[in-house]
Amino acid sequence: MTTILAAQSADARAKGEALIRTADKLLCESWNERMWADGGPIDPSPTIDQAVNGTYPWLEIECSRCKTRREVDLATLHHPPTTFVHDLASRLRCSKCSKANRRPPATLLQLAQRARHPDRET
Ligand SMILES: [Zn+2]
């Protein structure tokens, strides 16, 4: 009986985790939809944790000054996983512009499942 209950527990947990993953994935997709269709607002957005769990671990950004695009691997950021993706706009910096002593905010474009052109600088 104990093993059956333990197996049922594991089964229920796996189903629960799959449901959460689906919820996180849908949250990422609805945010992407909003960015594409209306260009914002960026707030509310998924958290880093939800984006990674929802299989959207890449964030495409564009420098608001020089328009250089790059992709950020959310899983490797040093920000707490509970940080909202929209809060990253003011925290992610363009490396080109920072060399010129400028710190323009990043424009957030969309969440992606894989990197199109991986950032080789990091
Ligand atoms: Zn720039």
Q: Which domain holds residue 49?
A: 2-112
Q: What is the pLDDT along the chain (122 residues), one digit of tens a residue?
A: 789 999 999 999 999 999 999 999 999 999 999 999 998 999 999 999 999 999 999 999 999 999 999 999 999 999 999 999 999 998 998 989 999 999 999 999 999 999 886 555 54
In a domain, 10, yes or no: yes
Structural domain count of the chain: 1
Q: How many A from CA of 90 to the centre of ligand 1? A: 13
In a domain, 73, yes or no: yes
- Residue 122's pLDDT is 47
Q: How many A from CA of 25 to the centre of ligand 1? A: 30
Cα→Cα distances 40→34, 37, 57, 82, 85, Å: 6, 8, 19, 21, 13
Q: How many A from CA of 36 to the centre of ligand 1? A: 22
Distance CA 114, CA 97 (A): 25
Q: How many A from CA of 54 to the centre of ligand 1? A: 29
In a domain, 70, yes or no: yes
In a domain, 121, yes or no: no
In a domain, 100, yes or no: yes
- Residue 2's pLDDT is 81
Q: How many A from CA of 2 to the centre of ligand 1? A: 60
In a domain, 117, yes or no: no
- Residue 35's pLDDT is 96
Cα→Cα distances 2→9, 11, 81, Å: 10, 14, 36
- Residue 46's pLDDT is 98
Backbone angles phi, psi at 23, to 5 degrees: -60, -45
- Residue 93's pLDDT is 87
- Residue 119's pLDDT is 54
In a domain, 29, yes or no: yes
Q: How many A from CA of 34 to the centre of ligand 1? A: 24
In a domain, 79, yes or no: yes
Q: How many A from CA of 107 to the centre of ligand 1? A: 10
